[in-house]
Amino acid sequence: MQAPSHPFLAMVAGETSGDLLASLVLQGLRTDFPDLYAAGIGGVRMAAHGFDAWWPSERLAVHGYSAELVRRIWGILRIRKQLVQRLTAQKPQLFMGIDAPDFNLGVEERLRVNGIKTVHFVCPSIWAWRPERVEKIRRAADHVLCIFPFEPALLAQHGIAATYVGHPLANVIPLEPDRSAARRKLGLVEEGEVLAVLPGSRASEVGYIAKPFFQAAAMLLRARPSLTILVPAVPALRARIDALAAECGILDRIRVLDGQSHLALEACNCTLIASGTATLEAALFKRPMVISYHMHPISWRLMKRKQLQPWVGLPNILCQDFVVPELLQDAATPQALADAVAQWLDAPVRDPSRLALLEQRFNDLHLELRRDTPKLATDAIQKILAA
């Protein structure tokens, strides 16, 4: 079926964070192009802005290099082939790949060869690992929209046009979060310790990470019986989260939320959190955190070989310092996680200067990332279309 004759933007967002970024771009574009037809692969936030999802974004979500990827690779490759064929036939004015570089750069490269203009939104982290990917970016993208201020200059060194548009989350999240209001919304008492536990938004992440997180939570509850634990869960993973919490003996001691991760982060004193975009959200809420990650051992060894910086968590990468602890792979034992969280929970009494310094660094980061992303992205796209 042919797309409508009015302006056609094709987009692919491969996971929850990409869905948010794409929805903000759509919001900005619809101001100037109210009859825009946008279609491809996306999620619920994009759908709220009239996006036609030919496939849901969760079809592309995969964790690591090994077992899960082997199981799902053929289905993902089939979707990519069908998408390229469909877009090559329908000729959108522009294709935008939002993050998901392993999928999107290949799509962009094929479409660009066929005369379709391409934009990649979110510069692949060539400054953190896999620097060889810069050559693929050069072949694939007419333009890159960057969410971190140092990226355009880095890409320019390789002859790649780019625009810094700020990080959309810096506008979504208030500069001064209101912990008391968030607790009222959740029906929590204003005083008392609250821990937000975020074990990831993908099934594979939950499979590797949730159990040690919940085991750590059990230890913390034994030491701090009045501790409130919030666990935001993607609705599709709620049953799995509940089962793992029950296995660890804490299901009746925690509160599992349907989504509401921002509310949980705003309400908490500290968060135990899987490495990923959620760690930046926690930093923008000015919350102390313990970052952790665990994956298949083969995936871990492959990633470690290509890692360029000593940090994995975005707050540490952006601050160029271990401002919050990272406990990764074999270091992510329940006891180590519980001890690191306890240090943050004790900090208001034992080390208040540590909390104050962290909040100031996260506030400075927030100001640096805060831009009118929908407008800047829209302006860049209009220039690309007019070229």
Over residues 296-349, the pLDDT tens digits come to 667 666 666 555 467 788 999 999 899 999 999 889 999 999 999 999 999 999
8 A C-beta contact, residue 238 and residue 204: no
Q: What is the CATH number of domain 8-166+371-386?
A: 3.40.50.2000
- Segments of the chain assigned to CATH 3.40.50.2000: 8-166+371-386, 172-369
Q: What φ, ψ does residue 316 adopt, rounded to 5°? A: -70, -40
pLDDT at 242: 95
What is the overall mean pLDDT for the chain? 90
pLDDT at 249: 96
Indicate if the pLDDT at residue 70 is higher than 80: no
Concatenated DSSP letters of 257-303: EES-HHHHHHH-SEEEEESSHHHHHHHHTT--EEEEE---HHHHHHH
Q: Which of 127, 122, 120 is nearest to 146 (CA)?
A: 122
HSE (side-chain half, CA atoms, 13 Å) at 50: 14
**Pairing mode of beta strands 94-98, 270-274:** unpaired
Over residues 132-168, the pLDDT tens digits come to 788 999 999 999 999 999 899 989 999 999 999 999 8
Tell me the sheet residues that pair with 9: 38, 94
8 A C-beta contact, residue 183 and residue 267: yes
Helices 277-284 and 352-369, interaxial angle, to 10°? Answer: 110
- Strands in the chain per DSSP E: 8-13, 37-42, 52-56, 94-98, 117-121, 143-146, 162-164, 194-198, 228-233, 254-258, 270-274, 289-293, 326-328
Going from the C-alpha of 236 to that of each of 40, 173, 197, 258, 276, the distances in angstroms are 22, 25, 17, 9, 19
Buried b (16+ CB within 10 A) or exposed e, 239-268: ebbeebbeebebbebbeebeebbbbbbbbb
Q: Which helix (H) or strand (E) holds 50?
A: none
C-alpha angle with apex 380: 377 to 381, nearest 5 degrees?
Answer: 85
Q: What φ, ψ does residue 83 adopt, rounded to 5°? A: -65, -45
pTM for the complete prediction?
0.79
Going from the C-alpha of 65 to that of each of 30, 72, 115, 257, 299, the distances in angstroms are 37, 11, 32, 30, 5
How far, in whole angstroms, is CA 3 from its chain's centroid? Answer: 30
pLDDT at 270: 98
Q: Band the pLDDT of 65: cuts 50, 70, 90.
A: very low
Mean pLDDT, range 175-191, rounded to an integer: 96
The fold of 172-369 is Rossmann fold (3.40.50)
Residues 238 and 241: their CA atoms lie apart, in Å, by 5
Indicate if the pLDDT at residue 94 is higher than 60: yes
HSE (side-chain half, CA atoms, 13 Å) at 344: 27
